[in-house]
A and B are shown apart, each in its own frame.
Chain A
Amino acid sequence: MKKMSVDDKLGIDKFYPDELNPHIEIDPDFTDEEEIMRVVKACPAELYKYENGKVIFNHEGCLECGTCRVVSGGKVVRVWHYPMGSMGIEYRQG
């Protein structure tokens, strides 16, 4: 089986994106590299990036697992909710 990027994998999934309402809020001023990198490495959808000493996050493509919240222990991820009803990932296999 050919190696795939996470972006390509997410491209196969079905989403109802809610562009205007990020359901996860990060702390943009948090700068501890080690902590940020743990969240970057943890997210199955690779939605967290560490760039120029800061954490960058995009909620679109979220698989709604909760791993970032558990791993960051309140540090990088400030608020974690599920998306609004009917929005977000729709699993067709499960």
Chain B
Amino acid sequence: MVKKGESIVSDDRFDAIIVGAGPAGSIAALTLAKAGLEVLVIERGNWAGSKNVSGGRLYGHALEKILPGFAEEAPIERKITKERISLLSEKAGTTIEYTDESFRKAETASYSVLRSKFDKWLAEKAEVEGAMFITGIHADEMIVKDGKVCGVKCGDEEMESDVVILADGVNSPLAQSLGMKKELAQAETAVGVKEVIGLEESVIRDRFGLMENEGCAWMMAGFPSDGGIGGMCLYTNKESLSLALVLTTSYIGQSELSVPQLFERAKAHPVVAPLIEGGKLLEYAAHLVTEGGYNMIPTLYKDGVLLAGDAANMVINIAYTVRGMDFAIESGRLAAETVLKAKEKGDFSASTLSVYKQMLDNSFVLRDMKHHLAAPKLMEHTELFTKYPVMAEEIFSEMFAIDGNPRRHLMKFAMPALKKSGGIFKLAKVGMDALRAL
């Protein structure tokens, strides 16, 4: 990799410049370099991955198509074989666990990953194919001539190319500067705060009931987000846990507590505290998460430019699962395929690049995002985060707590609990909305 300070031959013109060395950028670079194009990736971090954070789970299918058997070689943490979902009230938690043998198959497997390590590996894969990476350099501005993007400016240095792929993450100041992407709306954007907590490998296996190299993904709704839209997620890594709190930004200020305080409070919850007991903080991180789904997809192409991954708001959060990295990988690949088609025609205008949108429409990326179109609305049923965890507590605490007092029939205590949470019709409505959205 070319480091800051070393000179880049500035009169060199590239076929494509990619901004950002995350999964979208590196896969686009890999695909283009493999086809023989001159590709430059500009990364502001000191190395690919050093600015990158995610909740922690990669659905492997998209990368499996490009690099079959990648998990054998890539620095993945654990293969997820155990799914847990919890509804947390202040003092109690109701948990569903699902374990499935088929989660072990490569086509459906998902993996916990630590992006700093994983993205570095992925960038090296693109480098081996001939893509050039410069790191430690921030792409400051787009070069636009006659309405057409034809490169980027880094400080005083101008770098030109036929096309630019912006894979510079959720904030994407460059896509915003081109008017392709609006400022992130508060109601559609969440803040994620994350700790990577070190624990011994054997402790993780014992604590979560795991076989070697296998892992658990755990989503928790209710108490952690304090009534706002959000939740907590936990992923087991090899020798650490990724624990994150995600909270919609429009809710901030409605709670007495700050985001870091809510995170500390959630860590002390009786379901969470034993999981992290004895752990040692290895890293504290924060990242924005777009939650608007399909309706938040920005302008994906313009003359000489394409958006991929987080820069294109390609994330879905449907409570029991959060996806972004598989979308990033597929959109990076399709952006590259689009550039190859444009290169063949010798035309990088918006009308040629529009094939990108068509390919995305026909891919799982926009199909799945469209499919879950109603998910952001479902999350607006705040009962999910407030009343239902309490309802579960009221029912189960009476079911399981034996104290010698006279027992009551389930009907006697379940119905009032249900009524208090908004009633059976409200529950049925939320249930129906869930069936439609998920």
Contact = CB atoms under 8 A, between A and B. Distances in A.
Interface of A: 1, 3-4, 6, 9-10, 12-13, 16, 34, 37-38, 40-46, 63-67, 69-71, 73, 81-86, 88-94
Contacts of A44: 191, 193, 259-260, 284, 286
Contact of B259 (A43, A66, A81, A93): A43
* Majority secondary structure of chain B interface residues (helix, strand, loop or mixed): mixed
Contacts of A92: 50, 116, 282-283
A1 B197 contact: yes
The 7 closest A-B pairs by CB, nearest first: A94-B115, A86-B136, A94-B116, A44-B286, A38-B253, A9-B284, A41-B258
Contacts of B119: 94
B279 interface: yes
A9 B135 CA distance: 27
Nearest to B120: A94
B183 interface: yes
Contacts of B258: 40-43, 46
A64 B258 CA distance: 18
Interface size range on B against A: 35 or more
Nearest to B245: A44
7 contacts: A1-B267, A1-B273, A1-B277, A71-B252, A82-B44, A93-B196, A93-B282
B137 interface: yes
A71 B44 CA distance: 24
A91 B51 contact: yes
B394 to A, nearest CB: 29
B115 A91 contact: yes
Contacts of B50: 90-92
Nearest to B253: A38
Interface in B248-305: 249, 252-253, 255, 257-260, 264, 267-268, 273, 276-279, 281-288
B171 A13 contact: no
B49 A65 contact: no
Contact of A13 (B135, B267, B278, B283): B283
Nearest to A43: B259
A35 B240 CA distance: 37
A6 B263 CA distance: 11
A43 B191 CA distance: 9
B138 A42 contact: no
A93 B283 contact: yes
A41 B173 contact: no
Given A91-B53, A94-B54, A94-B118, A65 B45 contact: no
B194 to A, nearest CB: 9
A3 B116 contact: no
Contact of A67 (B116, B137, B267, B286): B286
A90 B191 contact: no
Contact of B49 (A63, A64, A94): A94
Interface string B37-59: 00000001110011111100000
A66 B136 contact: no
A40 to B, nearest CB: 7
B186 A86 contact: no
Contact of A66 (B4, B45, B171, B281): B171
A90 B43 CA distance: 13
B170 A85 contact: no
Contacts of A42: 191, 249, 252-253, 258-259
Residue of A10, A64, A73 contacting most chain B CB atoms (<10 Å): A64
